[in-house]
Structure 1
């Protein structure tokens, strides 16, 4: 396993935990979507070079920050 895999997997787990703590609604749905993106990035990072996933990771982090700002 690569470091990127572990990093993305940790973010996916944290995002799922945040989603579970939210009440039902749009923000919970968005947070779960972010968690799915992190999970997919972790899967891809296990097979490919680490640098190729940075733009996707930054987009997911930006979406997650927007969700947290809307709370």
Structure 2
């Protein structure tokens, strides 16, 4: 993973797999939203990488930790 685009894409893949494993309900919808955010960040980072993406990335990570209950 040499650049932020690949980094965000890998997080999107992992988040999507987590969402697929969850039973139907609010947690699954939130996890799918997190996966979409990571995917959008990877697409934006492909065009113009900058540090502004880090704030959105950290917000998505916080939401993902709340969903899984580890933070």
Fold agreement, TM-score > 0.5: yes
Paired residue for 2:27? 27
Give the gaps of 5 or more residues in structure 2.
none
TM-score by length of 2: 0.92
* In structure 2, distance between residues paired with 1:13 and 1:49: 19
Paired residue for 1:10? 10
Give the gaps of 5 or more residues in structure 1.
none
Deviations 1:11-67 (A, max 9, x none): 000000000000000000000000000000000000112312000000000000000
Aligned length, in residue pairs: 69
Paired residue for 1:53? 53
Q: List structure 1 segments (4+ residues) > 2 angstroms apart after TM superposition.
A: none
Any idea what SS the aligned residue of 1:46 has? helix
Let me know the Cα RMSD of the aligned residues: 1.4
Paired residue for 1:41? 41
